[in-house]
Amino acid sequence: MVIHDLTASQCRELLGRTHLGRLACAKADQPYITPIFFYYDAGQDSLFSFSTLGQKVEWMRGNPKVCVEVDEIVGQHNWRTVLVFGRYEEVDDTAAGRVLRTMIQSKLEGQPGWWLPGAAKLAGGPEHHVAVLYRVRVDRLSGRHAARPVGT
């Protein structure tokens, strides 16, 4: 197996066709990671996702530096992975924010396998009714892919 770096363009192309990732945030030197379903908007170079109020949103409000990991695994010797280093920003409730919210929600719901685990009720826990639309603005990308060497 040979591992190669992905170009920024190849990283963005993977973000455009993949919608499930893992979001990492931190508070007081404690990391937290959770799966998210997202939509990548190339024009804004941002990942968009929904969540309900809870630990993830609280931590990102306190420390907006986040990382999202996305992968595409075909097999042990054929995979791609991208890391997005960026900043968390909530989409506000202004007129422009409501237009963006409607557009992003329709993009997310139109994806195969759409799911929103953050809105699901925890067994024995409270129901959450307030959805937070947020973006992760891409500051930088890093990616790698693996392939078998030719002739093996």
pLDDT tens per residue, range 74-123: 988 899 999 999 999 998 888 787 788 888 877 777 766 665 554 555 55
Q: pTM of the prediction?
A: 0.85
**147 close to 78: Cβ distance less than 8 angstroms:** yes
Q: What is the Cα–Cα distance from 41 to 108, expressed in whole angstroms?
A: 11
Instruction: Specify the CATH class of 2-147 in words.
Output: mainly beta
Phi, psi angles (nearest 5°) of residue 86: -160, -165
* Tens-place pLDDT, residues 16-63: 999 999 999 999 999 999 999 999 999 999 999 988 888 999 999 999
3-state secondary structure of 112: coil
Q: What is the Cα–Cα distance from 51 to 133, expressed in whole angstroms?
A: 7
Query: Tokens for 132?
Result: 């937070």
